[in-house]
Amino acid sequence: MRHSELQMRDRENIHTYETGSGEPVIFLHGWSAAHDLTKPLLKLIGVKYHAIAWDARGHGHHAYHQTTPPTIDHLVDDLKELIDTIGSDQVRLVGHSMGGAIIWAYLRKYGNDRVKQTVIIDMTPKLTTDESWQLGVYFDFPPERQQWFLSEMQSDMVEAVLRLRAYGRNTQTRAQYETNDPALAPYRQFLRGLDANALISIWQDLLTYDFRNFLSTLAIPTLLIYGGASQFYGKPLADWMLKTLPNAELMFFPDGDHGPHIQYPQEAATRMLHFFAEEPQEVKK
């Protein structure tokens, strides 16, 4: 896998990881994550396409150097510069969780002239919940719960992220955390290397976004991938997304968690290649 550094307008370096050749497919990871978990999927898509993943600013294995806290708009402009650097008039965007919000914010800001298709993985158009919207985080994330999580992050970023994941809609994930499963150790170690202030800034900015009305106008072909055992969402949101987006199709994993493409890279890659191509293609390991 090829590793490159791309210098942004403010001299912040964005790290990218690439494989394959042909039409570009850009993978955008979730909040408090990095490109690493998508490597199996990246390699499968790279058999037919130029698959590119990044570590977003403030994320991954690279220090954040700016004095200004990052926002979603910073990441959107970074994506614009990445697309400009690739030099393609037609890219495909794959966004998991926060990556989906980056895609929607990009399309709202820059339009879809250069985006051929999108794949949205387990993301809501509005994280916060209220009387008019129950399909945000946990399907129950009002201001008081948001304040709880902010306080948790300011106290101990690593455990806050683990608890956010644990005390959601997936009882298995909760049991894993409460028994201090050794499998969590690598994730804890990874989280310790992240910039807490940058992550808090991006999270707080994410809470202000509401893409619901925008999605109903978005005719770009979209593949939705959702998990029935998601720590944060589930089938009601998947159904709402399918109903709201004018040109969407759904791949639903009944036992998939918040990262069904990570759990089932072979199945997700096969469906994505079917979606990308005019004729179905079978993925071979």
- pLDDT at res. 63: 84
Tens digits of per-residue pLDDT, 64-86?
Answer: 999 999 999 999 999 999 999 99
Long-range contacts of 181-187 (CB under 8 A, 24+ apart): 187/162
Q: How sure is the predictor about 280, in pLDDT bands with cuts at 50, 70 and 90?
A: very low
pLDDT single digits (tens) 203-217: 999 999 999 999 999
Q: Read off the tokens for 22.
A: 């042909």
Enumerate residues 6+ apart whose C-beta is below 8 A from 65.
11, 12
18 vs 30: CA distance, rounded Å = 18
Per-residue pLDDT tens over the stretch 15-68 = 999 999 999 999 999 999 999 989 999 999 999 999 999 999 999 878 899 999
- pLDDT, residue 285, reads 38
Confidence of residue 278 (pLDDT cuts 50, 70, 90): low
Diameter of the chain by CA atoms?
A: 52
| Contact in structure between 79 and 24 (CB atoms under 8 Å) | no
Enumerate residues 6+ apart whose C-beta is below 8 A from 153: 160, 161, 196, 199, 200, 203
Candidates 58, 26, 67, 63; CA nearest to 45 is 26
pTM of the model: 0.95
pLDDT at 60: 86
Beta bridge partners of 252: 226
Helices 98-110 and 196-206 sit at what angle, rounded to 10 degrees?
A: 60
Whether the predicted pLDDT of 267 surpasses 70: yes
Question: Of 3.40.50.1820, 3.40.50.1000, 1.20.1050.10, 3.40.718.10, which CATH number belongs to 2-127+209-276?
Answer: 3.40.50.1820
- The whole-number pLDDT of residue 62 equals 82
Write out the H or E segment, with its range, that includes residue 90: none
What DSSP element (H or E) covers 245? none
151-182, pLDDT tens digit by residue?
999 999 999 999 999 999 999 999 999 999 99
Reference 59, options 104, 13, 22; nearest CA is 13
Residues above pLDDT 90, as percent of the chain: 93
Q: Residue 284: pLDDT above 80?
A: no
Please report which confidence band the pLDDT of residue 243 belongs to, taking 50, 70 and 90 as the band edges: very high
What does the alpha-carbon distance between residue 230 and residue 275 come to, in Å, rounded to a whole number?
23
